[in-house]
Amino acid sequence: MERYWNQEIECASREDMKKLQDERLVAQVKHVYENVKYYRDLMDEKGVKPEDIKSTDDLHKLPFLSKADLRDAYPYGLLATPLSECVRIHSTSGTTGRRVVAFYTQHDIDIWDECCARAITAAGGTKDDVCQVAYGFGLFTGGAGLNGGSHKVGCLTLPMSSGNTERQIQFMRDLNSTILCCTPSYAAYIGETVHEMGLTPEELPLKAGIFGAEPWTEEMRRSIEKSLGIKAYDIYGLTETSGPGVAFECSEQTGMHINEDNFIPEIINPDTGEVLPEGEVGELVFTSITKEAFPLLRYRTRDLCVLSRKKCSCGRTLIKMAKPMGRSDDMLIIRGVNVFPSQIETVLIEQGYSPNYLIEVDRVNNTDTIDINVEMNPDQFSDKVGDLQDKERQLAGAMKTMLGINPKVHLVSPKSITRSEGKAVRVIDKRKLHD
Ligand code: DLL
């Protein structure tokens, strides 16, 4: 039987949900306009006043907010409450030089916890579960978000943070963890370590995993489910909108329900900004309608995905987003062809390889090159050069069929690609160094 954390909201009729969103949006726009000069200027520039926004039907009148705006306004420019009302900050890793600092009031944290509690409940979690949180703790939102949700549900919470993999497995077994929360790449690494320790999935107490913070394919899901003996659920979110829990997966496992009572999604054409109808692929845009300290109106996430209102067998009526195919800025353009790392991962797992790979892109004599280093499983390893070359040719052929371009494939020895305990780095684009 499907369990809900907040059935009234999760299964609300479309009319009731729209009414709630309408009311919250109107109040939010007023709050933002009155308290944030940056937004007031953006809205004034576009000639929109709070009175023009009477319901969600008027959402399209509001200006977009981009990552560049967040950078411009760093650190306090988008703060909508006095700093004395804030109790916490989180921040993105800033690996691409785009650090974002998000502020939270206690009310913001309570709502965030509720969103994560819905995700844990949808994955079958109750107060009788032991929830091992192996997302990083600190400025990253993964650890704190799932930790808060787990407390709210009443699970016994293990705030492990990421890393120290053998100890993770030891604790999991000693304390009977039933739910594991971490990135999918770390879950794959834990699965691999379980195997290396001579354990079988049946010897683990786990029943479910809640994995997100990076793109992962259906093939990766199946591989993790097998290696840990669990059902693996997706969870989505971003620092700018609080963190994990903006959307979560249910038993149907065909996309994530968006917590629409807090976040209104739109899909737009990333080039023109035009709002696209349900079912079309485009950039995901969110408006947060309950946040106090750091509200975002029409924030462009750069994540590419599709929305669907198709009836879900779990009974939830919350709109669903498909697994994001990656960020528009993750997409590689190789000799004019669009390539997503997720397509490469699909081929690898389908062909029986591990999800440990590294893509290197470069430009030689004005032509883009793509080299895919793929790690062999120990049983695929061979020291006969001919065998390896045959396997590489066969894999390159499968890649060509999927990608439409001819990559160079290099099979590398087991364990030679660095494992990830957080978000995996899959691509090195050396062209950027030359530009
Ligand atoms: O990754 C928040 C999070 C933590 C989500 C734990 C889920 C679990 P950021 O570090 O700000 O926040 O990165 C946000 O990560 O815009 C997506 O590109 C990507 N992302 C997050 N969840 C998923 C997912 C956290 N389930 C960025 N599938 C987002 C694909 C995801 N990409």
Q: How confident is the model at residue 383 (pLDDT cuts 50, 70, 90)?
A: confident
Mutating to test ligand 1, I would choose from 161, 236, 288 the residue with most ligand atoms within 8 A of its C-beta, which is 236
- What are the structural domains of the chain? 1-328 (3.40.50.12780), 332-434 (3.30.300.30)
Q: Is the pLDDT of residue 260 over 70?
A: yes
pLDDT band at 111 (very low <50, low <70, confident <90, very high): very high
pLDDT value, residue 96: 57
Say yes or no to pLDDT of 141 above 80.
yes
Write out the two tokens for 356: 């440990």
Tens of pLDDT, residue by residue over 303-313, are 999 999 999 99
Query: Which amino acid does the sequence have at 101?
Result: V
Rounded Cα gap, residues 165 and 186, in angstroms: 9
Using most ligand atoms within 8 A of CB, pick from 216, 302, 303 the residue to mutate for ligand 1. Answer: 303
User: Strand 130-133 vs strand 156-158: parallel, antiparallel, or unpaired?
Assistant: parallel
Nearest 10 degrees: Cα torsion 129, 132, 137, 142: -70
Long-range contacts of 325-330 (CB under 8 A, 24+ apart): 325/215, 325/281, 326/215, 327/301, 327/302, 327/303, 328/270, 328/283, 328/302, 328/303, 328/304, 329/302, 330/215, 330/427
Better-scored residue on pLDDT, 326 or 291 = 291
What are the pocket residues of ligand 1 if the criterion is a CB atom closer than 6 Å to any ligand atom? Answer: 92, 135, 141-142, 212-215, 234-239, 243-244, 301, 303, 323-324, 327
For residue 325, report the distance from its CA to the centre of ligand 1, in Å. Answer: 12
Bridge pairing between strands 263-268 and 282-288:
antiparallel
Choosing from 98, 135, 238, 254 the residue with most ligand 1 atoms within 8 A of its CB, the one to mutate for a pocket test is: 238
